[in-house]
Structure 1
Amino acid sequence: MKTVNIKINGHAITVPAGISILEAAREAGIEIPTLCYLKEINEIGACRICMVEVKGARGLVTACVYPVNEGMEIFTNTEKVRRSRKLTLELILSTHDKRCLSCVRSGNCELQHLCKEFGVDDEDYFKGENIQYEFDDSVAHMIRDNNKCILCRRCVAACEAQKVAVIGANARGFDTHISSAFDKDLANVSCISCGQCIVNCPTGALVEKDDSAPVLAAIHDPSKFVIVHTAPSIRVTLGESFGMHIGTNVQGKMVAALRRLGFDKVFDTNIGADMTIVEEATEFLDRVQNGGVLPMITSCSPGWVKYCEHYYP
């Protein structure tokens, strides 16, 4: 593998030729902030937050798409770079819904974190015209709020990576927004509800629907017997949200917490899966013996089922 020698903030390092400045910096343990970057999925230099200074270059360059060259000297945290990033954040905020207190991503928002890091203390520094978009809550699992969208296109790239590609950039210039074809709501396009757009959104533009209120109401209703089913993966992923090491098994703590919340019973979905297998086997035998429709394909994943229904009916 061909390598090149470069300097980042005065530190000499050797990296593979052709990689981006951002990748080189991360290999050296030097953080460069980004909002739109997803490795090998969305490397488009759209957000302009990753701007860095390169000795000899006419201006700042985007670290996520600019390749390294032999002898290159890079500076990631000069005053010029910091001013550029702060200005970009202020411009993003000029068309952004800034009701952070009521946003479910408050405290876990990449844009909010960067604004704090770069000292953005006047959210209306560039106050101007805004387009008010309507919420799209047409599907059961999520809400889309384009008023909080920063046009990073990470959701678009994630949707394309899933081979679904139902969303993209519509219109041009100031009117550009992320939506489906002809601005249809998600219930009327071939969205499979996989949730990858939500996972990759850096703000509150795409969020899961919150059913906490009806669940708590059911728990406190003495006429109802409330149970909860937990997916097998949750027992080893939930701990990360509480600062535990990745893969920590918190099954006991999780069950205890759910019971203290007021659930009458807590079941692992493994039980439901076992019951489903019995039912599927019964249905399969009935089809074979009585000339029913074959082949019979089943899945416990609603996203997989919707994908087949939409794309391989």
Structure 2
Amino acid sequence: MLNITIDGQTTQVPTGSAILDAASQLGVKIPTLCHLEMEEKCNQQTAACRVCVVEVEGRRNLAPACATPVMEGMIVKTDTERVHAARKTVVDLMLSDHPLDCLTCEQAGRCALQDLCYQYDLEQTSFPGQRNDFPIDTTNKFYSRNLNKCVACRRCVVICQNFQNTNAIGFGDRGFSTHPVAPFDRGMDESTCVSCGNCVSLCPTGALLPKSKEKFRSWEVSKVATTCSYCGVGCQMTLLTKDNKVVGVEPANGPSNDGLLCVKGKFAFNFINHPDRLTSPLIKKDGQFVEASWEEAYDLIIDKVKTVKSEYGSEALAGLSSARVTNEENYLFQKLVRAGFGTNSVDHCARL
């Protein structure tokens, strides 16, 4: 364990921890843009944004808190005039090449750059000049890319290369024109993108946005923690709801998905709002399906199973479960079929 003092508070952290980890342990807030709070070991901090710079006693230059390892006895200051001035300049430079359409931007209210501008009292840039004019890429079926709003934080590239292992994008050009690119700087439809949407979830600005059917603001939605029902992995996620309708999905940091989702979990949620979705059991009466209570449905199932078993024997029965339910539910189902029905004819569609 290593001892470190941050803004007069002392704590101990494991060897290999960054200053940002120690600050988080102490409850000291350090702003970031490029940092990913992911548990995977392949997350190597890029220190691309330089918003998290701090003063370290004995060092001449400011150090990025996310990528500077803690040393024994290190003394750090995060709230000095020099630190504030440096952070403000960094944000100011980002703003110099960023569209100021916050009133109509879909990311308004949840934009990290907008929050930093508010924190450091920036209403307009001090460095007016040339701006990039990238064409908006709408070739992907699920999201659009407006690289004019990109701040080169590298989150999308890191998540695509190190976590998703898709390598659909990297950084191209140099200097002022540096931006995330698909191979040969073509549209995302010609890349190896699998449309997982993790880059969209992690983008701190409005550069990457889902093609939502519903328009909403961040303050208009309620958040509901749930488990993805598309397969048995059990990915944790958060549903965004407005007017009793699901309008979006955000990944949650669960033990099975580590803050990631696939294309189904991220984008395939509109079935929830479909008017044809079954919300109660249906029983066929006189050739027509009619709604029934769960008690009626269970009674009918029990009666039919008993009838078939008594007339044709246990081997006339079989059970088919779904890969969408949990392992525990599948275990209980096979136990019901084997012990209750008296047959080993049980299976499930193990598709992920």
- Normalised by the length of structure 1, the TM-score is 0.70
The code of the aligned residue for 2:8 comes to: G
Alpha-carbon displacement from aligned partner over 1:181-219 (angstroms, at most 9, x marks no partner): 111101111111111110111111001012238xxxxxx
C-alpha deviation, 1:239, in angstroms:
6.7
Query: Which residue does 1:9 correspond to in 2?
Result: 7
- Cα distance, 1:298–1:132 mapped onto 2, change above 3 Å: farther
Tell me the SS of whatever aligns to 1:43. coil
Greater share of residues in helix: 1
2:167 paired residue number: 165
- Confirm or deny that 1:34 pairs with 2:32: yes
Residues 135 and 276 from structure 1, CA distance in 2 versus in 1: closer, same or farther, beyond 3 angstroms?
farther
- The 1-side partners of 2:209 and 2:141 are apart by 12
Contact 1:42–1:153 under 8 Å retained in 2? no
| Paired residue secondary structure (1:88) | helix
Q: Show the counterpart of 2:127.
A: 126
Q: Write out aligned runs for 1:41-60 (5 A).
A: 41-60=43-62
2:199 to 183, 190, 197: 197
Contact 2:57 2:76 in 1 (8 A): yes
Q: Distance in 2 between matches of 1:267 and 1:110?
A: 39
Cα distance per residue 1:78-105 (max 9 Å; x no partner): 1111111111100000011221111110
Q: Deviations over 1:258-294 (max 9, x none)?
A: 9xxx9745446xx9xx9999xxxxxxxxxxxxxxxxx
Residues in 1 aligned to 2:178 and 2:240: alpha-carbon distance in whole angstroms: 39
Cα distance, 1:112 vs. partner? 0.6
3-state SS in 1 of match to 2:60 = coil
Aligned AA for 1:187? D
Can you give the 5+ residue segments of structure 2 that lack an aligned partner in the other structure?
Answer: 216-227, 245-251, 253-269, 283-319, 324-348
Map 1:66-77 → 2, pairs under 5 A: 66-77=68-79
Alpha-carbon distance, 1:63 to partner: 0.6
RMSD, matched Cα: 3.2
- Cα deviation digits, residues 215-262 of structure 1 (max 9, x gap): xxxxxxxxxxxxxxxx748998337999xxx9xxxxxxxxxxx9xxx9
Q: Secondary structure at the match of 2:89?
A: helix
How much has 1:175 moved relative to structure 2?
Answer: 1.7
Q: Is contact 1:42–1:154 with CA below 8 Å preserved after alignment? A: no
Query: SS at 1:18's partner residue?
Result: coil
CA gap 1:38/1:264 in 2 versus in 1, 3 angstroms: closer
Q: Tell me the distance in 2 between the aligned counterparts of 1:13 and 1:275.
A: 51
- Aligned letter for 2:127? F
Match of 1:250 in 2: none
| 3-state DSSP of counterpart to 1:156 | helix
Tell me: CA distance 1:125–1:236, structure 2 relative to 1, closer, same or farther (3 Å).
closer
Identity of aligned residues (%): 38
Instruction: Give the direction of change, closer, same or farther, for the CA distance of 1:73–1:275 in structure 2 (3 Å limit).
Output: closer
- Please tell me the residue identity of whatever aligns with 2:11: I
Ranges in structure 1 where 5+ consecutive residues have no aligned partner: 214-230, 247-257, 278-296, 301-313
Q: 2:104 aligns with which of 79, 102, 105?
A: 102
The answer as to whether partners of 2:139 and 2:188 remain within 8 angstroms in 1 is yes
Find the counterpart in structure 2 of residue 150 from structure 1.
151
Q: 1:185 aligns with which of 181, 184, 187?
A: 187
Tell me, in whole angstroms, the C-alpha distance in 1 between the residues paired with 2:109 and 2:141: 25
Q: Distance in 2 between matches of 1:50 and 1:236?
A: 28
Q: Counterpart of 2:26 in structure 1: which amino acid? A: A
The 1:42/1:17 distance shift into structure 2, 3 A limit, reads: closer
Which letter maps to 2:207?
A
Deviation at 1:172, TM superposition (A): 1.1
Q: Where in structure 2 are the equivalents of 1:140-289 lying within 5 Å?
A: 140-160=141-161, 161-212=163-214, 232=229, 237-238=238-239, 264-267=275-278
1:23 aligns to what? 21
Which residue type is aligned with residue 144 of structure 1?
R
Q: Which of 78, 81, 87 is the equivalent residue of 1:79? A: 81
One-letter amino acid matched to 2:12:
T
Please say if 1:115 is aligned against 2:117: yes
Larger strand proportion, structure 1 or 2? 2
- Taking the aligned partners of 1:299 and 1:135, their CA distance within structure 2 comes to 36
Q: TM-score, normalised by structure 2?
A: 0.62
